[in-house]
Structure 1
């Protein structure tokens, strides 16, 4: 994983991070830096030069490069590089139960991801840090006539770190073409909670699985490269008649495709939560997730909107849950219930109010 550079020199009152040491200069504006190492072929097939700004042009490359360290008993942002359209609010300390935890909100000056956009975010969390990363709002992937858009996210959790990455929902517009790759490196002794939420489209406008192609990869690894978990999503509504048949762009239910039983089962929202930790046995984490969601469902006996499944991760490194629902409040509530459950189990503290609305 490419690491951030141009960090400030180590201060006498904080431990030196690996990212503080001198490194060869990295050209963050070079395609080799912000482009994914491998774009899925079905996405790459849309490559073309737009009649507007091309990939790599000003305002088309968003870079966010952050480093956190534990300083005087709390987590501080000790290194930052940002290039619009990606920007960052200063860290906030809003959790009364974990007052030393830094909360950062990622923002986009462009309002959403457009054709030929290339985004990359790197977050290095030093030993024993406590970091929560989220987005200011949902990520909109706008309609595209040329090329495609990509987003890379790299997170490095050092020994003893407690890191939460819970971005807002991803909303693909009609004809969107998008690839997102999230790579998280988790040192032994670290805990990482990562969530993802996907919406079928701009539902209020009648757009349901009307995007051209939507692909995501989530990789969880140890520093030595050992793969802990891999979650891959490939949604292409326009492809019909293949082994992995897709629904029509109107979003009609079918045997396969985004609305099929193997993907979203006719629901409009899907969310996942992955928990990698050695603070508690994996089975205990899975039980906490299941119990919390089952209790949550019993509160709505006349509303069978929510469907979920919980499982232990490979190598007993943690647990994960996937949730399906038709209505935004139900999927948001369900993910929060799951997050709160593992928060209480692992830290003894409830999930805080992120105050996005």
Structure 2
């Protein structure tokens, strides 16, 4: 984990940074056919992986400062297969009390039979941070989107535990024009009893893994449960998790613990088991 001190930006207008990319399936695999970015985010590297394309996103800034807005648009055409990750933790720095903080939005457009695996590194919410994350996924017939996130409540070894101002997280998933999943989370630690039993209690970190496709049903959820049931136990590191089918064409894994790496291990197990079951492809965790 980075030891970099958080940076407090002076109040300013919103600063928008954009990354747009289009991926196309060709005989030799998936390729980027167009891309556009503005500083400080860009695609640092793209590399072939057994017919799919791996993409690493770079942020050359120290993290999201007060007023920063990141906007990602991923267009994955019919039959293309993309794995997306980033270089390191997304660090969200403090914001001023009168500001709306920083934000990140992502839009994934998947053509017929397209596959997207979105597996970024964890999000770190520093003291006094205010952060809004919003994602939209649009699926065509036969497409598959898998995505995971881990959220850290601050630099816990330094005593930061839910010291941020606000965290909002939204995910909307469409199959064609039908909304098949909607999630909206809002955490304001100063106004909520996060340490109460039935809420976070003694746990600090949360993680989610989602998978959506018209190929997903109870058998796929059962495969993931089996993988999570055989996870190794780590002394002094609690982990709770659950797997639930969504309203239509998907399931969600929710997990909580006291360390990011414990949740990453669990979500990677869920991801890898589904990847092997649906795509007949081996895990990609060698990339970590």
The answer, yes or no, to whether TM exceeds 0.5 is: yes
Counterpart of 1:181 in structure 2 is: 134
Q: Structure with the greater relative contact order (CA < 8 A, sep ≥ 6): 1 or 2?
A: 2
Distance 1:330 1:51 in 2: 32
Equivalents in 2 of 1:290, 1:67: separation in Å?
34
Query: Against the structure 1 CA distance between its residues 155 and 354, is the aligned structure 2 distance closer, same or farther, given a 3 Å change threshold?
Result: farther
C-alpha separation in 1, matches of 2:113 and 2:143: 4
Q: Is the 8 A contact 2:118 2:148 kept in 1?
A: yes
Q: Give the drift of 1:71.
A: 2.0
Unaligned runs of 5+ in 2: 1-7
Counterpart of 2:233 in 1: which secondary structure?
coil
**Is this contact kept in 2: 1:313–1:319, CA < 8 A?**
yes
Match of 1:331, SS state, is helix
Consecutive unaligned residues in structure 1, runs of 5 or more: 1-49, 240-244, 248-252, 256-260
Moved over 3 A (4+): 50-53, 301-304
Q: Work out whether residues 76 and 102 of structure 1, in 8 Å CA contact, stay in contact via their aligned partners in 2.
A: yes
Give runs of aligned pairs for residues 194-209 of structure 1, distance below 5 A: 194-209=147-162
SS state at 1:90 partner: strand
1:254 aligns with 196
Aligned length: 279
Show the counterpart of 2:31. 76
Match of residue 211 from structure 2: 275
- The CA RMSD measured in Å over matched residues stands at 1.8
Report the Cα offset of residue 303 of structure 1: 5.6
1:54 and 2:7 equivalent?
A: no
Specify the alignment match of 1:17 in structure 2: none
Say whether residues 1:238 and 2:190 are aligned partners. Answer: yes
- CA 1:169–1:278: 2 relative to 1, 3 Å: same
Shift of 1:223: 2.8
Alignment of 1:25-64 (within 5 A): 52=10, 54-56=12-14, 60-64=15-19
TM-score w.r.t. length of structure 2: 0.91
From the CA coordinates, give the structure whose radius of gyration is larger. Answer: 1
Q: Please name the residue that 2:21 is paired with.
A: 66
- Residue 55 of structure 1: CA displacement? 2.6
Aligned ranges 1:1-357 → 2 under 5 Å: 52=10, 54-56=12-14, 60-93=15-48, 95=49, 99-145=50-96, 146-147=98-99, 148-224=101-177, 226-239=178-191, 245-247=192-194, 253-254=195-196, 261-262=198-199, 264-279=200-215, 281-296=216-231, 299-300=232-233, 305-315=238-248, 317-356=249-288
Residue 53 (structure 1) shift: 6.3
Q: C-alpha offsets along residues 212-268 of structure 1, whole Å, 9 cap, x if unaligned? A: 0011101111231x11111221110111xxxxx334xxxxx235xxxxx23x34312
Partner Cα separation in structure 2 for residue 301 and residue 167 of structure 1? 23
Decide whether the 8 Å contact of 1:55 with 1:61 is kept in 2: no
Do 1:285 and 1:318's aligned partners in 2 also have CA atoms closer than 8 Å?
A: no
Deviation at 1:54, TM superposition (A): 2.0
Q: TM-score, normalised by structure 1?
A: 0.74
